[in-house]
Amino acid sequence: MNKAMIQEMGKFIKKNEQGNLVYDNGTFQIELYRYSDPDRLNLADSAAIYLGKPDTDNIRRPLNILKLGHALEIFRGETATFKFYDVAKQVYDHLITYKTMNMRVAGGNRALISTSCTLPMDKIKNKELVAEKIKESMYAYHDLIDAGESPQVARAAMPVNANMNTFKLQFNFQTLIQALFPQRIFEVGAQGLTVEVVKGMFALCHAVDPELWETVYELYGPHTKEWKDVQKKLRKKKTTFAELLFEVGGGKEYQQELIDRYGYDDEGAYDGVISHGLNKIWDADIEEFFREKFGKQKSIW
């Protein structure tokens, strides 16, 4: 996920008849049912109290608290309530693992019947076969219902990607900032459909208060994890600039070419590689360069 993607996701957002923002990507819908502090005034008041300041309407102060790494206690008091439509049970199961979630309202498949399902959004080798097998599971599930079994019994045959009936979840901002968004969309490895749903949740929050949630992205986004990996690798390897430029400049292969083709000695060839590497890196974006070289995230799965 990156800034361009955040802007792109905005095109999926519209208002419903009640005036609430709805994220609709054609597969599922998420309604931002309630957002407790759209003008950031509650957070501003809490931040003023927290820091002992008189200007309780300073809406930039909460952002500074974020940037300075203070405890995010004031963000725990604000909430976003989401209403989910046509979202797979697998995603629901992932979202309810957050024990600091404020509220969960769901009928569930113990009493209600799922009528549709969603294909996985992970990499699929044989899409037709996967779709066929999921549909077979749905047919088996509905066959049990039609045979008179209770939904509680029939759900044993239900595929995990069966769509839940409408459900509602409420998260406080602290949980969104420190846990849900980083774990599900800022870091790699989350299940594909869950990633898409949580992206929609982030897009809705961003649509209400772009400045706050862009700050969250800057402080907790994927580049921060990459930079931590950069630091660990640089400290472990104790990489020097000469070694870095040697690799950028073509490394041992280029050094050998200078020796074989142009008659350089070992020392001269090494200096040539360093010089070439220096010219190559001179205009590069340093932050991006180090992240690309040392910080690229890898999934543990």
- The CATH code of the domain that includes 92 is 3.30.1360.170
Q: Is residue 142 part of a domain?
A: no
Residue 120 CB-density burial (10 A; 0-12 exposed, 13-18 middle, 19+ buried): middle
- In the chain, how many domains are there? 2
**DSSP string across 223-241:** HHHHHHHHHHHHHHHT--H
Rg (CA), the chain: 26
- Residues 94, 201, single domain; the answer is yes
Structure tokens that stand for 105 in this block:
């309202």
Residue 58's Cβ-side half-sphere holds a number of Cα atoms within 13 Å equal to 17
Whole domain around residue 249: which residue ranges? 226-294
Same domain, 12 and 76: yes
Answer yes or no: do 216 and 259 share one domain: no
> How far apart, in whole angstroms, are the C-alpha atoms of residue 134 and residue 261?
61
Q: Are residues 262 and 281 in the same domain?
A: yes
- pLDDT of the chain along its 301 residues, tens only? 677 788 888 899 999 999 999 999 999 999 999 999 999 999 999 999 999 999 999 999 999 999 998 889 999 999 999 999 999 999 999 999 998 999 999 988 888 999 999 999 888 999 999 999 999 999 999 999 999 999 999 999 999 999 999 999 999 999 999 999 999 999 988 999 999 999 999 999 999 999 999 999 999 999 998 888 888 888 888 877 777 777 766 777 878 888 888 888 888 888 887 777 777 766 777 677 777 777 777 654 4
Residue given tokens 């697998």 in the structure block: 90
145 in any annotated domain:
no
77 in the same domain as 36: yes
Asked if the structure places residue 117 within a domain, the reply is no
The verdict on 170 and 253 lying in the same domain is no
Determine contact, residues 61/12, Cβ cutoff 8 Å. no
Q: State the sign of the Cα–Cα–Cα–Cα dihedral 254, 256, 259, 262.
A: negative
